[in-house]
Amino acid sequence: MSEVRDASAQARRFGKTREARAASMLEDCTELIADLHAARGEARMTDIASCLGVAHPTASKAIARLKREGLVVTTPYRGVFLTPAGESMANRARRRHRLVVDLLIAVGAPAEAAEADAEGIEHYVSEATLAAFAAFLQKRR
């Protein structure tokens, strides 16, 4: 009986990882679009592709998915714009990213490594773990 429970728990953990992997692209793209708008006043497909390090067709597919999910709208010759749901996702992703970076730096990781590592960790960490990170950092202040 314990094997079934263990297998079931493991299956849930793997399922959460698969969900996080699928959501990571959406989160990264919405965060990037928000950053591009803040820095440049617009988010053009070429800029999105360049910042993600992918080809234009790959960025176009990602934007098409964001549109299907209701996270962005596009306007011909004007770029990509976040919907309120997209803005909310971008803000959540940015807060999670910053919290993970701050924790990694607090435990001794170099700033550049912390930024790079947070790009992966931020998508897989649970809300409970994020709360623990925040509590740890708060105690240090």
* pLDDT tens per residue across span 106-139: 999 999 999 999 988 998 888 999 999 999 999 9
d(CA 67, CA 74): 8
Looking at residue 20, its pLDDT comes to 62
Cα Rg, the chain, nearest whole Å: 17
The closest of 39, 57, 38 to 49, measured between CA atoms, is 57
Find how far residue 110's CA is from the centre of its chain: 21
The conformation of residue 141, written as its DSSP 8-state character, comes to -
Helices of type H across the chain? 2-40, 45-52, 56-68, 84-106, 111-124, 127-140
Looking at residue 1, its pLDDT comes to 45
Residue 104 near residue 120, CB atoms below 8 Å: no
Q: Which residues of the chain have a pLDDT value below 70?
A: 1-5, 13-22
1-141 CATH fold: Arc Repressor Mutant, subunit A (1.10.10)
- Residue 56, classed as helix, strand or coil, is helix
The neighbour count for residue 63, using CB atoms within 10 Å, is 21
Residue indicated by tokens 């940015």: 94
Looking at residue 141, its pLDDT comes to 79
